[in-house]
Structure 1
Amino acid sequence: MDSAETVDTFDPRRRGLSPLGAAARRHARRLVATGLSTAGFVFAAVRDPGILSPAAGVSPTAGVSTDVVTAGGPALLVRLELGVLAGLLAAGASLVFLAQRDPAVDIRAAWGWFALAAAGFLVGTAAARQVAPALFDLLVEWGRVTADSRQSALELELFFPAAVGGGAAVAPLLLGLRRAGALSRRLAGGTRGLSLLCLVAFAACFSPPDSTTFALYAAPPAVGLGVAVAWVEFG
Structure 2
Amino acid sequence: MQPLLRGRPKRLAILDYGLFQVHANGRIIGICGYLLETTAGERVLIDTGFPAKYAEDADAATAEDGLGHFGRVLSLAPGNLAPAQLALLGIAATDIDLMIQSHTHIDHVGFMDGFPGVPILIAEAERALPRPLYWSGKQAMEWPDRDYRQVTRDVTLGPGFEVLLVPGHAPGQLAFLIDLPQTGPVLLTSDAISRAAEIEEKFAGSWNEELAIYHGARLMDLAAARGAKVIFGHSPEQWPQLRKAPDWYD
* Same fold flag (TM > 0.5): no
Structure 2 length-normalised TM: 0.27
**TM-score for the superposition, normalised by structure 1:** 0.28
Comparing both structures, which one devotes a greater share of its residues to helix? Answer: 1
Larger-Rg structure: 1
Q: Which has the higher strand share?
A: 2
